[in-house]
Each structure stands twice: as C-alpha cells, then as structure tokens.
Amino acid sequence: MNSNRTMTLFLTGIAVCAGLVFAGGAQKQLPTTVDPKPRDGNWMQRHNSFNERVKKGNVDLLLIGDSITQGWEGAGKDAWEKYYGKRNAVNLGIGGDRTQHVLWRLDNGNVEGIAPKLAVLMIGTNNSNGTDNTAEEIGEGIQAIVKKLRAKLPQTKVLILAVFPRGEKPNPQREKNAKASEVASKLADNQMVFFQDIGDKFLTGDGVLTKEIMPDYLHLSPQGYEI
C-alpha cells in the first residue's frame, strides 16, 4: 500500500472517530428540569415582587415551590399567620412552576442579599404531567435547586419535602412523584440538607385523598394547610 493511500485511510479513520464522539455528545442533552427558564406575563410580576421583598431583608424562613406553596396566601392564610407569621417567613411560591422555573428565579434575585436560617422546598408535581418528564429527571431538577441553594446560601439549611400525593386514589403520577422525591432525598446529609415525607398525613389508611383535604385532589384546603 502506498504512503498516500495509507495517509488517506488514517485521516478517514480519525474523521469517523471524531464524528462518532461528536454524535455521542450531541445525543446527551440535559433534561428540561435542570435548564433554568423564565415564564411570561403575571409570572414575572410575582417574581419581581419577591426580589423587592428580599431587598428589605429580615428573612429567616423561605418556602419555595409552586401553587401549593403560593396557596399559603389563600386557603392557607390563617395557618400561615398562626405558625409562620412571627418567623420572618417569605413565600416564594408561584402557581404552575416547574423545577426549571425555580432555578431561573434563584439565579435572578429571589435569594440575593439574604441569609435565611432555613429554606423549605417542594417542587416537581408540575413536571410530572403526562410524559413531560421522568421521575429521574424530576429528581435531578430538585437536586439542582438544592445545590443552587447551597451555593448561594451556604449558611442556610434546606428541607426537601417530598412531593405531595395527588389524585383521589393511588395512581401512576403519584408513583412518579414518589420516585422523584426518593431521587432528591439522596442529597440529604442531616446536617445542612434534610428530607421529610409528610404525604401520608393527607391520606386515609387505604391511600385515599379526600376532598376535605384537597378539594381538587391536588391543592390543599384550609384543613390541609393546618396539617
């Protein structure tokens, strides 16, 4: 075989290998759950209101999440005043949020300039609709939020709450959320990061979720917030 032929084959082999490496890298994409994204409309107004609140300081407790957290201002208002009114608590919940939206908020002012004693996080149920995300992807999203909180608020302890049960009876979405919570719980070291699952407090002995606790089998009633 002449030298030119040998060189051509050699270069072709390098090109093929490079192509395979590039293709393999291109196939590995981060799940949407860990990719920070904002939302439109009134969402931005509420996000900005959080930033204005934390600028005032005097924040000892953060509750971070979606509509279930935001609901402390609605059905949970009385329970909030009873238990958290004197704790310098700030509600960082926005209805409809997914893990990627919380990540964006944390990067854009929601925790800037504060050093709370504790941040309580429950997020992920909105990621679990249909085939939007797998349990593993949701768990990774929750983990990403915890890691970001630890980086931005190194003196703040973090409590991960398992995603609450939803649906009247046991169902695949409940199972997905439970698995996602299990993935997230692996970050708990019981020193700075803690995990707690209180979902069974809302259920009957045979796993039924009643309308007295969650009228739409997702959002809490005043009784649910008291629990």
**Residue from 40, 189, 206, 216 carrying the catalytic annotation:** 216
| 40 is annotated as an active-site residue | no
pLDDT score, position 13: 53
**Residue from 66, 97, 101, 219 carrying the catalytic annotation:** 219
| 67 is annotated as an active-site residue | yes
AA identity, residue 40:
D
pLDDT score, position 18: 47
| 206 is annotated as an active-site residue | no
Beta 118-122 vs 193-196: how paired, if at all?
A: unpaired
With cut-offs at 50, 70 and 90, classify the pLDDT of residue 151.
very high
pTM of the model: 0.88
Length of the chain: 227
Q: What is the CATH number of domain 32-226?
A: 3.40.50.1110
Contact between 152 and 113 under an 8 Å Cβ cutoff? The reply is no
Q: Indicate the angle between helix axes 42-55 and 99-107, nearest 10 degrees.
A: 40
Q: Which residue has the higher pLDDT, 4 or 51?
A: 51
**Residue from 35, 67, 107, 197 carrying the catalytic annotation:** 67
Edge-to-edge strand list for the sheet holding 193-196 = 89-93, 61-65, 118-122, 157-161, 193-196
Q: Where are the beta strands (DSSP E) in the chain?
A: 61-65, 89-93, 118-122, 157-161, 193-196
